[in-house]
A and B are shown apart, each in its own frame.
Chain A
Amino acid sequence: MISERTRRNLRRELRRSLLAKLGIVVVILMVAMAIFAPFISPYSPSQQNLDNARQPPLGFSTAETREVTQMENGSVVIEDGQVVTETQTVYTNATFAHPLGTDGNGRDILSRIIYGARTSILVGLFGTSLAALIGVLVGLSAGFYRGRVDDVLMRSADIMLAFPSLVLAIALVGVWGQAQAPIPDPFVATGIAPAFRSAVGLPTGMPETVVLPGTVIVVVALVNWVWFARVARGEALSIREEEYVKAAKALGASDGRTVLRHVLPNAITPILVLATIQVAAIILLESALSFLGFSGADVSWGFDIALGRQYQSTAWWISTMPGLAIVVTVIGLNLVGDWLRDALDPGIEGEGGV
């Protein structure tokens, strides 16, 4: 399916482009972070410590003035029947225990980012796969059969396009509710991760399940399949005119066989390029849904940005850090997308190459 020439182009473009290398490294790191979260996360993402809330990230400290009860010899000072308080400036310093700081409930932000990667990448991968499956089926049928089938399918695609994807996604999740499927985390269930953690001295008690945001995955696929349909249709329209496809049909190959054996493999390149960019788009969409509180996820980068907003005057890092995680991930994916596009489609040259 991937020819030697394609691989050579990919390698050559990768050698040439520093940005492509950067993108691949970022994406691999993010995926590894998501997969191995139970091993590398310093704490459980939900472990609260209210005494240690809003601790700043490394390199920063905060000064906060509060009223503190005056104490003398271990007892509260009372004057005129009232507890005496004094204004104190409380300095909170960063510690290596929480390199990215803690949130409003004292949860470790780094751990939440590591576990948040799981949500983003699960939705990104499953959502894109589902969207590609629907879109490619629709697009290939439309392009291959043309005529009435094409009209009906592509007009439906036009109707889908008339809804802004975020608006439709909000509406669908709003109407549908938020179904989530907890799946046992294989590393925790098999005991590998807890054993590893106690061996290296990390706190145990990691979440036992990975939450698969089912509704969100279905919804992001439903609002994004159209892009795949358009690309697949365009490819099918041109490939069906190729001699080898005509030859296969003349030899009596069934339609399904012709599409699977001849049309799909030749349409795969642009679909792959689109899929890479769509993973980025869907991660952004998921974070927007979570930010608005519609996804139902409680460990998600978008959701944490929203949580941090109430502390925007005192603890800027709570919203900032998860946002940076999104930006870095999406930049990585876009760079990989640029790399694939530059390498696989010499027709669109000149962009993104440094």
Chain B
Amino acid sequence: MSLSRFLIKRSLQGLFVIWGVITVVFGLRFISPGDPANVLLPPDVDPEVRAQVIAELGLNEPLYVQYWQFISGIPFGDLGLSLVTRTPVAARVVARLPATMELAIAATIVAVVIAIPLGVLSATRRHQPADYGATVFSLVGISTPNFWLGVMLILVLAVQLNLFPTSQRPIGLDGIAMLLAGGDVGAAVDGFVTWLWHITLPAITLGTYFTALITRLTRSGMLDQLGQTYVRASRAKGLPETLVRYKHALRNTLIPVITVIGLQLGTLIGGAVITEAVFAWPGLGTLIINSINARDWPVLQGSLIIVAVGFVLVNILVDALYAYVNPQVAYD
């Protein structure tokens, strides 16, 4: 199977999953026993308002009509109206996306940049102090709840030492791009410094688990690869140790690591939600939490759909990368 056919097949599967996700989200209204309106409305609401809302949401229509109404708008970006602000859900969700993506990407960069060298170091210096240090770090890292780590970072670095702000995102990369487009380079640089200053603690909070996880995977993968016969064969044919380690072993180590990173994206987004809650970071996570607290179900549904679609898209991307790096996949 060629790479392009592999990708087409993967995209069709992705489309199916997205349809499934939308259907599950639609079904969220019905998981509570009894009248779906009970889920949507507080029990003590005025009956008139209740009737109005039910009519407005089409809850008295037959199920298939409701499903069609729900699903038909989505391809055109219509995720319905917020119950609270009466504004389109799609616009609110999209407005929150940059903050969450910045956080997720910053955390991933932190994780990859630290974890892969650390894992390699740990594997190539097995049973030496560096290895023990990396092993302890990764054990503690995967066992620490990130929200607590965030609280501790705020406690020590923000409150006690006053090195970093405790919360907020005064400017985002989108804002900085606007400044640059407007030609105000000085303000853009200032903005970037501010952004960096504010995102440091959230990025560490979100990235630590992944740093620990990838360190662990890289270490064990590298140890596994270094024990393979082909490594011995590479040495036997005269390759220098750098080539053996970093061209041969590391590359085969990274192939499964990429898969795991793809699988862990859900954890990354879940982690972003709670990190945002700790740092009052105005992303999708805070939107989701606020919408639950406000019982603003359309916003919750829209956010869930966007998160899941993003997850599916990034996974297709990861699969493409995987197939590109690992030639065997395309033929299986």
Contact = CB atoms under 8 A, between A and B. Distances in A.
Direct A–B touching in the complex (beta carbon < 8 Å)?
A: yes
Interface string A337-349: 0000000000011
B143 interface: yes
A24 to B, nearest CB: 15
Interface in A146-190: 155-156, 158-159, 161-168, 170-172, 174-177
A144 B308 CA distance: 29
B255 to A, nearest CB: 16
Interface stretch (B52-60, B106-114, B149-157): B149-157
B269 A167 contact: yes
What's the interface size class on A, roughly? Answer: 35 or more
A287 interface: yes
Given A323-B152, A327-B143, A158 B28 contact: no
Interface string A27-43: 00000000000000000
Contacts of B274: 166, 288, 291-292
A312 B155 contact: yes
Contacts of A323: 144-145, 148, 151-152
B32 interface: yes
**Interface SS, B side:** helix
B39 interface: yes
B223 A159 contact: no
A3 to B, nearest CB: 26
Interface in A176-210: 176-177
Interface in A326-354: 326-327, 330-331, 334-335, 348-352, 354
A109 to B, nearest CB: 15
A319 interface: yes
B155 A162 contact: no
A302 interface: yes
A352 B135 contact: yes
A167 B152 contact: no
B273 interface: yes
A110 interface: no
Contact of B21 (A159, A294, A308, A331): A159
Contacts of B292: 170-171, 174-175, 294
A162 B311 contact: yes
B216 A351 contact: yes
A167 B265 CA distance: 12
Given A170-B273, A312-B155, A164 B143 contact: no
B176 to A, nearest CB: 28
Interface string B292-310: 1000010010001001100
B155 A158 contact: no
B325 interface: no
Interface string B150-177: 0110110001100000000000000000
A284 B17 CA distance: 27
B155 A280 contact: no
A163 B147 contact: no
A313 B151 CA distance: 11
A327 B140 contact: yes
A288 B216 contact: no
B220 interface: yes
Nearest to B18: A162
Contacts of A166: 267, 270-271, 273-274
Residue with the highest number of chain B CB atoms closer than 10 Å, among A164, A166, A288, A320: A164
B196 interface: no
A327 B216 contact: no
B139 interface: yes
Contacts of A167: 269-270, 273, 288, 304, 307
Given A165-B266, A352-B139, A175 B28 contact: yes
A351 B220 contact: yes
A326 B307 CA distance: 28
Interface in B22-71: 24, 28, 31-32, 39
A309 B307 contact: no
Contact of B139 (A163, A308, A312, A331): A331
Residue with the highest number of chain A CB atoms closer than 10 Å, among B147, B216, B224, B273: B147
21 contacts: A159-B20, A162-B311, A163-B308, A164-B269, A164-B273, A167-B270, A170-B273, A171-B292, A171-B300, A171-B304, A175-B297, A175-B300, A176-B32, A287-B147, A292-B277, A323-B144, A323-B145, A323-B152, A334-B139, A348-B224, A354-B132
Nearest first, the 6 A-B pairs at minimum CB distance are: A166-B270, A174-B292, A159-B20, A323-B148, A164-B270, A330-B143
Given A162-B312, A351-B219, 14 more contacts: A159-B20, A162-B17, A162-B18, A163-B304, A166-B271, A171-B288, A172-B31, A174-B292, A174-B300, A177-B32, A291-B147, A323-B148, A326-B148, A350-B227
